[in-house]
Amino acid sequence: MEYLIGIQGQDFVLVAADNIAANSIIQMKQDQDKMFKLSDKILLLCVGEAGDTVQFAEYIQKNIQLYKMRNGYELSPKAAANFTRKNLADYLRSRTPYHVNLLLAGFDETDGPGLYYMDHLSALAKAPFAAHGYGAYLTLSILDRYYRPDLTRDEAVDLLKKCVEELNKRFILNLPSFSVRLIDTEGIHDLEKIMPVGAKSLARAPSS
Amino acid sequence: MSYDRAITVFSPDGHLFQVEYAQEAVKKGSTAVGVRGKNVVVLGVEKKTVAKLQDDRTVRKICALDDNVFMAFAGLTADARIVVNRARVECQSHRLTVEDPVTVEYITRFISSIKQRYTQSNGRRPFGISSLIVGFDFDGTPHLYQTDPSGTYHAWKANAIGRSAKTVREFLEKNYKEEHMESDTDVIKLAVRALLEVVQSGGKNIELAIMKRDESMKILVQEEIEEYVTAIEKEKEDAEKQKKKT
C-alpha cells in the first residue's frame, strides 16, 4: 500500500514517499509525511505497521540527536544506518518487534551521498536506488532501465516522475501525491510534491 | 544487594554536613559566571592554565544540553559529567514524549531533583557541583538558573559560582544595568568584565559561550574574546581619563 523510493546521484540523494495514511480500506489522511529528519543531512523514510513506524522512527531520531549533544558532532549516514539496523535487529528477537521498512538517505562530507535500504527483518544494504512497498515491484525495473550513476538533479526527478507515472498506470491503488526531498552538501531541500495527472485527490477541488 | 547505611545524615543542630562539604568542594572549583540578557544568554568560565603538554581543547566546562539549553558548572568535573549526561538524555526523552523541547526551568528542576535524591540515598554522597543553566524556552523567554549540591535552584539575572564567586557576584550587583541588557554586546561585555576581576592574565584564561534566541550555542574563539577584552580595557582607560579631567 505504502511506497518509498530513493535515487542516489553523484552529489545528492533524491527520496520520495507517498502521502496516504490508510486504515483498512479507508484513506484517513492524504498529506501524511513519512520522512523523519534524523539530522541536518539525514532523512529516514519509514513505512509499515501503524504506530510502529512513528514510534521507531522518533526513537531513532532522538537517539541520533542525543549522540550529537554528547559528542558535539552528528553521526554519519553510515553510522546512523548501522545504529538503526542494530536497534531493529535487537527488537526483532524480543517480544515486541517493530514491523517497519525503511530507507535511510544522507549526505556525508567525506563519503558523499548514501542511500541505505533496510527491511523489517533488519537486513541493511547500501544501494544506488531502492524502493519499498508493492509499488517497488512495478518501479524497480524502470530504475534498472534508466538509472545512471551520473544523473543530474533534474534527470533524477524525471526518473522519479516516470516511476510515479507507472504506479498511476498499473498500480491498483490510487496514490494521488508524493512528498519529494533532496539531500546534498547544503542539507535537506523540500521539492515540489508530485501529483500524477488523473489520480483522484482530495487536494484537487472537484470541478462543478 | 543495596547499601543499608545512609551517608548524608543530620547533625544535632540540623545541618547536613555532607551537603555543606560538597558546597566547599564547589568553592574550590574554577569560577563560572552567567548573565541573562533580553536576546542573548552568556556563560563564562575561568580556564585553569593547562600543563604544557596538555591539549586544552579537552577541558570543556560549558556543555550543551540541547539546542536551546546549555550549562556550566563549578566543582568536581567527574560528577558534572554524570549530571550533564543524565540531563542530555532527559532533554531528548522529553522531546520524544511531549514533542516539545524542554523549558530551562524543567531541566533545572530535573537536575536539582537528581542532586536532592543523592542527598537522601543509601551509600551515596551528594554531587560536588553547582551549575549555571541558561537557555531560551520555546516561547522565546531567556532564563538563567543556578543549582547547588543540596538540590535547590533559583532563577537569577546574573550570578557566579566557584572560587571568588562572592567577589564576582558583588561586581555583578554593582554593574548590572537593566537597560544594558537589550544590547547583546553589553551583556557579553558584562560577563567578560566580571570574569576579568578574578582570572589572572586576562582573555587567555576565559572560555565564553553565548546563545541568541532561536540559535544554538556558540563557543567564542580566542580572537573574539580578545576583542571584547581590548574593548573593555579601552573603556576603562577612557573612564580613567574622564575622571582625571573632571
CA distance B223 to B14: 50
CA distance B88 to B67: 10
- Of the candidates B63, B66, B62, B65, which has an alpha carbon nearest to the alpha carbon of residue B44? B62
The ipTM is: 0.83
Search chain A and give the residue with CA nearest B219: A72
Residue among B83, B88, B98, B217 with most chain A CBs within 10 A, to mutate: B88
CB pairs under 8 A between A and B: 21
Confidence label for B58 from pLDDT (cuts 50, 70 and 90) = low
- Min distance A66 CA to chain B CA atoms (Å): 6
pLDDT, tens digit, 9 for 90 and up, residues A31-45: 999 999 999 999 999
A108 pairs with which residues across the strands? Answer: A112
Phi, psi of B56 (to 5 degrees): -75, -10
Nearest to B65 among A58, A59, A69 (CB): A69
**Chain A contact residues (CB < 8 Å to B):** 58-59, 62-63, 65-66, 69-70, 72
Search chain B and give the residue with CA nearest A65: B92
pLDDT, tens digit, 9 for 90 and up, residues B146-183: 999 999 999 999 999 999 999 999 999 999 999 888 99
For position B24, what pLDDT does the model report? Answer: 95
For position A203, what pLDDT does the model report? Answer: 63
- Min distance B243 CA to chain A CA atoms (Å): 47
Q: Describe the crossing of helices B77-98 and B104-117 by its angle, rounded to 10 degrees.
A: 130
Mean pLDDT of B89-116: 96
Record the cell numbers describing residue A127, joined without a space: 544501494
Confidence label for A200 from pLDDT (cuts 50, 70 and 90) = confident
A16 pairs with which residues across the strands? Answer: A5, A180
Show residues of chain A in contact with B218, CB under 8 Å: none
- State the pTM of this model: 0.89
For position A205, what pLDDT does the model report? Answer: 53
Between A80-84, B90-94, B205-209, the lowest mean confidence (pLDDT) is in: B205-209
Confidence label for B131 from pLDDT (cuts 50, 70 and 90) = very high
Nearest to B88 among A58, A59, A66 (CB): A66
Those residues with Cβ within 8 angstroms of residue A69's Cβ, 6 or more apart along the chain or in another chain: B64, B65, B66, B88, B91, B92
Q: How many CA atoms lie within 13 A of A177 on its CB side?
A: 18
Are B88 and A62 inside 8 Å of each other by CB?
no
For position B60, what pLDDT does the model report? Answer: 82
